[in-house]
Structure 1
Amino acid sequence: MATAGIPLGATAELAGRVLLASLFVIEAADKLWDTGGALRYMAAYGLPAALLPLAIAVELGCGIAILLGWRTQIAAFLLAGFCFLTALIFHADLAQRAQQIQLEKDLALAGALLILAARGAGRFSIDARLT
């Protein structure tokens, strides 16, 4: 199916990448603007402060890479692992419905990112231009 000469699939791939990437870029920005809050949240789960720069780098770097469609498969794979770890570390309290929903969301994001890692960025990407 095509829309004005542009394949609908390629447009959907781009829209999907933008939506996925925006979540991680926004979350990284939130951590940068409220570093103290992010550090307190991590400390509540027993994580060292030294991990915060790594979390920001992964979310921001991989988010931007996916947004641009550059080294998308690597970035998506890294973020899938990030989401999986986030689910297990921060949302494992299944007695709380809100935490269960967050766990499910993070696992679903990991699944979507694994699909992106397997399929690649699509037509409207730097990756496509380089190949």
Structure 2
Amino acid sequence: MNPCNRWLTFAGRVLLSLIFIISGLGKVAAPDATIGYISSVGAPFPEVAYAIALVVELGLGLALLLGFKAKFAAAGIAIFTLAAALLFHTDFSNQIQLVMFMKNFTIIGGLLLIVAYGAGGFSLDNRK
């Protein structure tokens, strides 16, 4: 991999992972508010959903950032992001919800590139 591609794939991985890591940290800081929001949309077992969100956003988000088992991490985050889009952002009469739904699908697209091609440069998966 040439040096430019190493930096570009690293930057892409960092940018994709940050939204999940920051969101996970927000959930850690406000568990009751997060569980309340999950309950408000009628999701079953909001405490379990909260725990899953923490594992995905922090655990898999950090794995993606570091490029550790990046294909697995990206696949897990993509499935989680699809579920979040379908649970939380389907009121298409609300322009903000439509944009959030499309944002989630755009993120899924980036994650699928990692599933297909791997972590890229400066990753634990590709250390030498």
Q: TM-score range by the shorter chain?
A: over 0.9
2:15 paired with 1:25: no
Aligned-pair CA distance for 1:54: 1.1
Could you tell me the TM-score, scaled by structure 1's length?
Answer: 0.92
Question: Counterparts of 1:123 and 1:95 in 2: how far apart (Å)?
Answer: 41
Structure 1 unaligned spans of 5+? 1-5
Moved over 6 A (4+): none
Question: Counterparts of 1:46 and 1:19 in 2: how far apart (Å)?
Answer: 31
Higher RCO structure, 1 or 2 (CA under 8 Å, sep 6+): 2
Task: Report the equivalent of 2:7.
Answer: 11
CA deviations over 1:27-51 (Å, ceiling 9, x no partner): 1100000111101110011122221
CA deviations over 1:42-63 (Å, ceiling 9, x no partner): 0011122221111111111111
Higher deviation after alignment, 120-129 or 71-80 = 120-129
Question: Counterparts of 2:49 and 2:81 in 1: how far apart (Å)?
Answer: 15
Aligned-pair CA distance for 1:103: 0.1
Paired residues in the alignment total 126
**Which of 55, 73, 76 is equivalent to 1:75?**
73
Question: Counterparts of 1:101 and 1:11 in 2: how far apart (Å)?
Answer: 29
Could you tell me the TM-score, scaled by structure 2's length?
Answer: 0.94
Aligned-pair CA distance for 1:95: 0.5
Structure 2 unaligned spans of 5+? none
Q: Which has the larger radius of gyration?
A: 1
